Amino acid sequence: MARFRDLDMAPKFVPVDFIAQMVPGTFAHAMFHLVDELDLSPFDARYKNDLTGAPAHSPAMLLRAVLLGYSQGLVSSRSIESACLHNVLFMAVTADAKPHFTTIASFVSRSYAEIKLVFGQVMAILDREGLIAKDMFAIDGVKLPSNASKSRSGSVSRLARRAERMEAQVEKMLNRHRENDDQSSIEDVEAKGRARIERMAKDAKAIRDFLDANPKDRKGKKGGVRQSNLTDNESGLLKTDKGVIQGYCGIAVVDAAHQVIVAAEAFGTGAEQELLGEALKACEGLRTKETLVTADSGFHSADNLAEVANQGINALIADPDMRRRQDAQQGIDSSIAKRSRNKGLFEARDFVIAEDGSHAICPAGKHMHRNGEMCGAGASVATRYRASTASCNECPLRTQCLRQPQKRYARQIAILRPSGATNHLAIMREKIDSEEGRKQYSRRIGTVEPVFANIRHNKRMDRFTLRGRNKVDGQWKLFALVHNIEKLGKFRSAA
């Protein structure tokens, strides 16, 4: 019978060479040596222990611990502290300093200004080593939840009504307890009741304090009301394909050559149309006149197109109808699938508009008269056309045209057309529909989407743990640094 050596899993004292733990070609090796190249003196201003007080943990050590933790999906300060105590690789990059989780949390939340400077230094290193080609920048955003409660959102009036209901409920419960003072009751039930009263009173007071500090609703860029949030009033309600979340939108500008994030900023709104200008400003130091900037239809608006035109930026920004036009050029009837989703109803594109715009012809061949104009989206004007009730009543296509054909009303449509002397919308459509435009724009998805996949799924950095835009912006830049350092490590090891 074969014999094998016993495997002893008991703890042992093992000599550890910290430097040897960071194997060349790994993230830890690239990150450790990159931090040595950075000027971290801006962090020194936070420390006041020149003459008195205990020595502080080194910012270089804390930065290494955070970056290594984030690269392995350890986003919370407690998980990073645990790794520093029990993981040999974390012991190596921190020189076994054993930082407390409060020290790590304070470093991440307070150092957003210094992290911005570190990000800029890393960009300079990446540019110097040739990882930023500046041929094409792709702009996109990813919506991530933050340390804020969605249930504690609402307009100022809605929050005020919520506080009133809580205060009324507290008063009702107090009156009930006063009535029961002379009656025998179970002590634990009374204790639970008192705890509930205290909790509701505390919540109502928190809402009142918030409303005193924020008496007016937040306003969006176009003047609309944005819901406030009691836990983080700079965060926003963001619509995603998995529902609505309370969090921030992380905008990234990615260079196409090596998928390096050249600019990263977080915003408490999911309206990407409002953020293109900020993204362009963030990357203007690296962008050249020849750099092609691409963005998807979320960033498309007349104002944005006018801005890139006025700045002389070479840009390709998709509009919502780009795919449909490309399908039509290839002989694909994309309207069939879309029409089935809309219960088979005719859409505005199925109606023929007269060249002079005086009238329209419906799919049944009947005349529709012009019925005025109204303001449309962005810098557009919508011209309305309406059929007569008599022509619609006996129409054989009535069920394909009207949402409620059993009611006696006529079909009307609105056709958008750009206004203003310079038609930036038409110019961009013509540019992106050209053969070269389609070829260049097709590179966008392969540039920016893998970056978000790496951050969210490979690295599991899929939520923000902080509150406040400045702090979240610093954390988003740390996420981007992890991605960029990984790119730098692979580039250096391949050289």
The pLDDT, as a whole number, for residue 338 is 47
Q: Could you read off the pLDDT tens digit of each residue along the chain, which spans 495 residues?
A: 899 999 989 988 888 899 999 999 999 999 999 999 999 999 998 898 888 889 999 999 999 999 999 999 999 999 999 999 999 999 999 999 999 999 999 999 999 999 999 999 999 999 999 999 999 999 999 999 999 998 888 888 888 888 888 888 888 887 777 666 655 444 555 666 778 888 888 888 888 888 888 888 887 766 677 888 888 999 999 998 889 999 999 999 999 999 999 999 999 998 899 999 999 999 999 999 999 999 999 999 888 999 999 999 999 999 888 888 777 766 665 554 444 445 568 888 889 988 888 889 999 889 898 887 665 444 456 788 989 888 888 888 888 888 877 766 788 888 876 555 358 888 898 899 899 999 999 999 999 999 999 999 999 999 999 999 999 999 999 999 999 999 999 998 886
Structure confidence at residue 336 (pLDDT): 44
Residue 59, SS3 per DSSP? helix
Which residues are within 8 A (CB) of 161 and not within 5 positions of it... i.e. 6 or more apart? none
In DSSP terms, 386 is beta-bridged to 369, 412
Instruction: Say how far residue 157 (Cα) sits from the centre of its chain.
Output: 27
Predicted pLDDT at 235: 92
Which DSSP symbol is given to 273?
Answer: G
Edge-to-edge strand list for the sheet holding 352-353: 352-353, 359-361, 367-375, 380-387, 412-418
Strand partners, 370: 385
List the structure tokens of 308. 């890139």
Predicted pLDDT at 129: 94
Indicate the burial class of 381 (C-beta count within 10 angstroms; 0-12, 13-18, 19 or more): middle
- pLDDT attached to residue 153: 87
Token pair of 426, please?
């038409």
CA distance 402 to 389: 12
Q: In terms of residues, how long is the chain?
A: 495
Structural contact between residues 70 and 455, judged by C-beta atoms closer than 8 angstroms: no
Q: Is the dihedral of CA 44, 47, 48, 52 positive or negative?
A: negative
Burial classification of residue 479, based on how many CB atoms lie within 10 Å of its CB (0-12 exposed, 13-18 middle, 19 or more buried): buried
**Which amino acid, residue 494?**
A
pLDDT at 454: 96
